[in-house]
Amino acid sequence: MKIAVDAMGGDFAPDAIIEGVLMAAAELPENVAIVLIGKQAIMQELIKKHNAEAVANIELVNADDVIDMSEHPTKALSQKPNSSIGVGFKLLKEGKVQAFCSAGNTGAMHVGALFSIKAIEGILRPCIAGFVPQLTGGYAVMLDIGANADCKPEMLAQFGHIGSIYAQSTFNIDKPRVALMNIGSEEQKGSLVAQAAHQLLKENHRINFIGNIEGGDFFGGHADVIITDGFTGNTMFKLGESFYKVAAQRGLSDEFLDKTNYESVGGSPILGVNGNVIIAHGISSPLAIKNMIGLAIRQVESDAYTKIAQALS
């Protein structure tokens, strides 16, 4: 299994990325290698600086260009085929790597996935999933957390279906509890979109829909899969992550609060595309990159995207 990592994407790239990759490489299972994509000379120099040995499970692939965080995704991808993101998707499409991860331009990662490996047939809109730590242990999968600011009820209903398959295959949860984020527990509550989505989710007997949950239930362990539009999902997810920062600023330390830190999982998969694509925070630290690689391995092993494609075919 090969996990490709964009060495050049992220606010602290390439240093933080390479450091994280080296941390991951030290603990990789025997059948896993990391393919690091970026400017060859820079990557070599940084690997040398951090750790001259023990990099047998890291391959370097040269990419001359870099897509900046502020560049227009579609334009940048067509103008820079030799960017680290461009090369990563080429390798992923050709099956030379089983996952591609980047902390770089999120839009370019999303567009790159749609243009290369493409959306799964039957998917209305791919989305981004986030992991919300639960007080009862483990994480809930929340989707969408930002790819689709405007969602139709049918999209939300499909998020429920693919989120359920993802949670089941990647986290081994039997009959994942799927909940709709809403502003009241009763089914007639909420926006017009949420009300309609509730009915569609209720009618889908392939999922274990448990009804609405509210903002106060975010960390409460009530659901394994939390469905919402990309606007609400993004604002809530970022607010949830800020819990860690608030606690740190207040000098509080706690095992659960540590999990609200973005580093604890390190990446967010794009779901609904024909492959494993993981987006990391722009500010990703080495630890976040290491954990992102762990998530990528887990996803490749679980083969979630194939299971999603089968369910929709």
Query: Contact residues for a copy of itself (CB under 8 A)?
Result: 135, 146, 149-150, 181-183, 189-192, 194, 214-220, 228, 230-232, 234-243, 245-247, 249-250, 252, 254, 256-257
Closer Cβ to a copy of itself, 101 or 151, answer by number: 151
CB of 258 to a copy of itself, least distance (A): 11
CA distances from 63 to 15, 255, 290 (A): 16, 39, 22
Q: What minimum distance in Å lies between the beta carbon of 266 and a copy of itself? A: 17
The amino acid occupying position 120 is: I
- Between 217 and 301, CB nearer to a copy of itself: 217
Cβ-based nearer residue to a copy of itself, 199 or 242:
242
Smaller CB separation from a copy of itself, 80 or 222? 222
**For a copy of itself, the closer CB: 193 or 210:** 193
Amino acid at 186: E
Nearest distance from C-beta of residue 312 to a copy of itself, angstroms: 26
| 17, amino acid identity | I
**Residue 167 CB coordination number (10 Å):** 26
The residue written with tokens 């790239």 in the block is 13
Closest contact distance (angstroms) between CB of 109 and a copy of itself is 15
Whole-number minimum distance, CB 238 to a copy of itself, in Å? 3
| Secondary structure class of 309 (helix, strand, coil) | helix
CB atoms within 10 A of CB 36: 29
> C-alpha 236: how far from its chain's center?
16
Of 83, 45, 77, whose CA–CA distance to 63 is shortest?
A: 83
Q: Give residue 189's identity as a one-letter amino acid code.
A: K
Backbone angles phi, psi at 148, to 5 degrees: -125, 95
**Nearest distance in Å: CB 286, a copy of itself:** 21
Distance CA 36, CA 270 (A): 20
Instruction: Pick between residue 26 and residue 183 the one whose CB is nearest to a copy of itself.
Output: 183
